Amino acid sequence: MKQQQVKLGIREYVCIAFLMIGMKGTEDTPSMLFSHVQNAAWMVPLLSGGLFFIPFFLLLKTLSLFQDKNVFEVIQQLLGKYIAFFVSFIIFIMNSYAISLDTRTYTNIIRAYYFTTTPRLVLYGILMVVCVYAAKKGIQRIGSISYILIFYVALSFFIAFWLSLDDSQFASIFPIWGPGKLELLKAAPSGLGLWGEFFILTSLYSFMTSFKDFRNGTWIAFGCVVIQLSLATMLFIALFDKGLVVIGYPFHVAIRYISLGEFLPNIETLFFPIWLSAAFIRFAAFLFINALIFGHLFKIKEYQYLIPSLATIYLLIGMIPETPNDVAQLKEPLRYIAGPTFAAISIILWLTAWFKGEFKHAKNKNNM
Amino acid sequence: MPKIKITCNLLLFLAIVFLLSGCWDRSELENKAYVIGLGIDRSKYEGKIKVTMLIANPEVGSMQGGGGSSEKPREIITLEAIDIITAKSTANAVISREISYELLKVIIVSEEFAKDKEFLPTLFTSIQDKEIRLDTFLVVCKEKAYEYFQKNRPRMETRPHKYFQYMIDHGIQNGYIADSTLFRFIKTIERGTDLALAMYTTAEKEKNPPNRGEDEYIAGQLNVFGELDDTQFIGSAVFRNGVMTDILTGQETRIVNILDDTVNIGDILINLPDPFSDKRQQIAVRILKTENNTFKMNLKGAKPKITITIPLKFEIMSNPSMVNFADSEENRQILKKHIAEDTKISFEKFLRKTQTELKGSPLPLSRYALKYFATNQEFEHFNWEKSYLEAEIIIKPDIQIIDYGKQLRPKK
């Protein structure tokens, strides 16, 4: 039952990355950013993106030395068996925590706005079953689906934002520095958590056609997502103004508010299926990567078979918080820890590689 | 091996059966009673409100061609309840179908309750119901809300959802009433720096209605008679800090709507005094607002200075003094200057009234001030609500006359 190894092209990789991280604009991230730095929230993705660029650049540089290995194998080679296991295990735990809470957030959204009386467990179960099904098909399939889907996702976002422009007032993003420059700078590190997914996406490298594709794809996706998140946040600020504080999921409130003229007043059902498919892709890719890490940690070759059991565990963890508010509270520490941790690991990797003289080594090899 | 495979596949197939139970959120049109209008009044009991529901009959008017039913198009019930969310189930004691707010169009609040401090908390708990959409309109009525619903008997548009939709949409297009969706209303309240407006209506005609210009009325003052429904939508209620304090006339609401770029008004028809007539005749003009206003502020000095440039296009519809515009550049200039002056005077007069009487700006003016500050703290320190009252506001109409109407030969 060995799956045929079709490599992941640059466009599929960019699409997966865009769907995985760009979806953050449609859940509670914008209002979370707003609650910290108010009307300057749109700057946080830009600032933290700029901040994350440095360690991420170093990470890609380090990875380029070992062109046939993925990030976890590189960690193992550089940090030694035991520390590498510890580091990878931390990454795995953080990801598991993140995916559990994120899937729960999506279940909450679906339950709050679309299926209000269906039991939470049923919705959650169906979400997980679909994601497991997609994840088990392998990352190549996920890549192809995201490539098909990306156009519709982008189009539906664009239409939603364009329709909401009518009620937006861009003057609301002023005063330009929001709560003050210092506060903004303080908020940037906590925004690093937004980009944690890019770190784990690097583990997909072994599925890519070439390192060049991988590197270029990552930067393209990174640029797109930083701009997209910042723009989405800005639009929500312009649309909701100070009200964004009390709105949990601004994207969904916005699509329930906008209308296509008098004739088609309630159009959220047009956006919902597209958003839902994008969510499936996001978690399918997330599940796949987590299974990959787990397989690497415990030397399990057929890691695809881990996906259903991992998903069940995530579902059980995700069911623990009782209310959506608890979920938001539990997410908060992750936001502060995840980003800096990933940044730190990247820098440590680069430093180790530097001290060990891997860069010189590679240079010599090239010269020879 | 194949046996196991077949069994597994069959089991998987059986799993599809579970999907059939996914009908928790199934809703049948037949089973639902759609509330189109919701009235909220003060109750004589402590901690309660009087909820009125206007329920539309989906069968009426939906039939294509023959058939049709002889049922009434609507049902109105009023009951005392703690909030509108639980009122849904209480109302089911009298209404046979399941009550739903999904198609709610208007929330009507009596003036008496709107002036109460309890109003805002009640409204905020009400809209926590997930079925209520933010594009629902908030309306203030002069009488009690339940009386309003009972008296409001449209003759032509008997289906209530169509009636309210058309009435409100056209009112906003004409600029007579404020565009007060819950979304806009709540946004303004949350912001806290400006006055919130809600459209004003009544189904009660005043006994001795005054005689004024074409739009200087508030609901109930318009003297219309004939074979019609007495409901009038004109003017708007002003809310300061969440409590209703005043009423704007149709004309004043129009000024607000012209000044506020976030409102989509259509073209407005008004009368202006004719500069060429000595018998106080009036000319009819159509005003088009196609471009956004520009707001310039100087907030540094002791007295803030706000300059608003309003680009307006005018179409002259009538010409009572039979002036020749076609050949005389001078006449055209006189008219343009006159219109500009007239607009400036009426707008500035109104804005002065907002400073002295209403004590706040009925349009989101504070948003335009934001960009003159670097941080939120500076803006808070500036204290917009207070500074606005002392500000010097200058209106600069940028008039363009795009049509002088039909040119008739002047009387010899």
pLDDT digits (tens, 9 = 90+) for A22-52: 888 888 888 888 888 888 888 888 888 888 8
Please say whether the beta carbons of A178 and A184 come within 8 A.
yes
- For B377, the token pair is 């703290």
Residues A44, A36: Cα–Cα separation, whole Å: 10
- Sequence-distant (6+) residues with CB within 8 A of B194 are B188, B360, B361, B362, B363, B364, B365, B366
Closest CA to A250 of B85, B185, B134: B134
How many angstroms separate the CA of residue B317 from the nearest CA in chain A? 29
Residues of B in contact with A125 (CB under 8 A): none
Please say whether the beta carbons of B380 and B370 come within 8 A.
no
Instruction: Tell the residue number behind the tokens 């009673």, with chain if given.
Output: B33
Going residue by residue through chain B, which has 412 residues, state the pLDDT in tens, using 9 for 90 and above: 678 888 888 888 787 766 655 567 777 777 888 888 888 888 888 888 888 888 887 776 655 544 555 677 788 888 888 888 888 888 888 888 888 888 888 999 988 888 888 888 888 888 878 788 888 899 998 888 888 888 888 877 777 888 888 888 888 888 888 888 888 888 888 888 888 888 988 888 877 777 777 677 777 777 777 777 778 888 888 888 888 888 888 888 888 888 888 887 877 888 888 877 777 788 888 888 888 888 888 888 778 888 888 888 888 888 777 777 777 788 888 888 888 888 888 888 888 888 888 888 888 888 888 888 888 888 888 888 888 888 888 888 888 888 777 766 555 4
Nearest to B134 among A171, A245, A257 (CB): A257
Buried b (16+ CB within 10 A) or exposed e, A303-338: bbebbbebbeebbebbeebeebeebbeebeebbebb
pLDDT at A1 over 50: no
Q: What is the pLDDT of residue A79?
A: 79
Q: How many helices (H) and strands (E) does chain A have?
A: 15, 0
Cα separation of the two ends of chain A = 42
Provide the greatest CA pair distance for chain A: 72
> Identity (one letter) of the amino acid at A140?
Q
Nearest to B130 among A113, A119, A246 (CB): A113
Please say whether the beta carbons of B35 and B55 come within 8 A.
yes
ipTM (interface predicted TM): 0.79
Closest CA to A350 of A64, A59, A53: A59
Size of interface A-B (CB pairs under 8 A): 83
Residues A154, A162: Cα–Cα separation, whole Å: 12
Q: How many helices (H) and strands (E) does chain B have?
A: 12, 14
Residues A24, A226: Cα–Cα separation, whole Å: 11
Tell me, yes or no, if B151 comes closer than 8 A to chain A by beta carbon. Answer: no
Q: What is the pLDDT of residue B411?
A: 52
Going by the DSSP 8-state scheme, the letter that residue A301 receives in this structure is S
Tell me, yes or no, if A112 comes closer than 8 A to chain B by beta carbon. Answer: yes
Closest CA to A102 of A285, A352, A292, A341: A285
Closest CA to A229 of A4, A29, A1: A29
Residues B47, A199: Cα–Cα separation, whole Å: 55
Q: What is the pLDDT of residue B19?
A: 64
At residue B107, φ and ψ (nearest 5 deg) are -115, 115
Residues A328, A306: Cα–Cα separation, whole Å: 28
The residue of chain A nearest to residue B378, with distances taken between CA atoms, is A175
Using CA atoms of A233, A236, A241, A247 in order, give the dihedral in degrees to the nearest 10.
-100
Q: Are strands B32-42 and B232-240 parallel, antiparallel or unpaired?
A: unpaired
Residues A215, A211: Cα–Cα separation, whole Å: 6
CB atoms A172 and B370 under 8 Å: yes
Query: How confident is the prediction for chain A on average, in pLDDT?
Result: 83
**Lowest pLDDT segment from A191-195, A217-221, A305-309, B351-355:** A191-195
Give the pLDDT confidence of A219-272 residue by residue, as tens digits.
888 898 889 888 888 888 888 888 787 787 888 888 888 877 767 777 888 888
Residues B60, B162: Cα–Cα separation, whole Å: 12
Contacts from B403-410 at CB under 8 Å and sequence distance 24+?
B403/B315, B403/B316, B404/B316, B404/B319, B404/B325, B404/B326, B404/B332, B405/B315, B405/B316, B405/B317, B405/B318, B405/B319, B407/B324, B407/B325, B407/B326, B408/B319, B408/B322, B410/B322, B410/B323, B410/B324
Please say whether the beta carbons of B27 and B45 come within 8 A.
no
- Sequence-distant (6+) residues with CB within 8 A of A193 are A334, A335, A336, A337, A338, A339
Residues A94, B12: Cα–Cα separation, whole Å: 33
Q: Are strands B137-141 and B243-248 parallel, antiparallel or unpaired?
A: unpaired
- For A331, the token pair is 């997410």
Residues of B in contact with A172 (CB under 8 A): 367, 370
Please say whether the beta carbons of B176 and B222 come within 8 A.
no
pLDDT at A2 over 50: no
Cα separation of the two ends of chain B = 109
Contacts from B53-60 at CB under 8 Å and sequence distance 24+?
B53/B77, B53/B78, B53/B87, B53/B91, B53/B99, B54/B149, B54/B160, B55/B95, B55/B99, B56/B103, B56/B159, B56/B160, B56/B161, B58/B29, B58/B34, B60/B158, B60/B159
Residues of A in contact with B184 (CB under 8 A): 167
Nearest to B25 among A112, A115, A166 (CB): A115
Tell me, yes or no, if A210 comes closer than 8 A to chain B by beta carbon. Answer: no
Domains and CATH numbers, chain A: 10-367 (1.20.1740.10)
- For B322, the token pair is 């039979």
Please say whether the beta carbons of B114 and B140 come within 8 A.
yes
- Reading phi first (left if > 0) and then psi (alpha if -120 to 50, else beta), residue A181 is in alpha
- Reading phi first (left if > 0) and then psi (alpha if -120 to 50, else beta), residue B138 is in beta
Residues A323, A110: Cα–Cα separation, whole Å: 14
Please say whether the beta carbons of B382 and B299 come within 8 A.
yes
Please say whether the beta carbons of A13 and A145 come within 8 A.
no
CB atoms B24 and A119 under 8 Å: yes
Domains and CATH numbers, chain B: 29-260 (no CATH), 267-412 (3.30.300.210)
Residues A249, A259: Cα–Cα separation, whole Å: 18
Q: Is the bond leading into A175 cis (omega within 30 degrees of zero)?
A: yes
How many angstroms separate the CA of residue B30 from the nearest CA in chain A? 19
- Sequence-distant (6+) residues with CB within 8 A of B16 are none
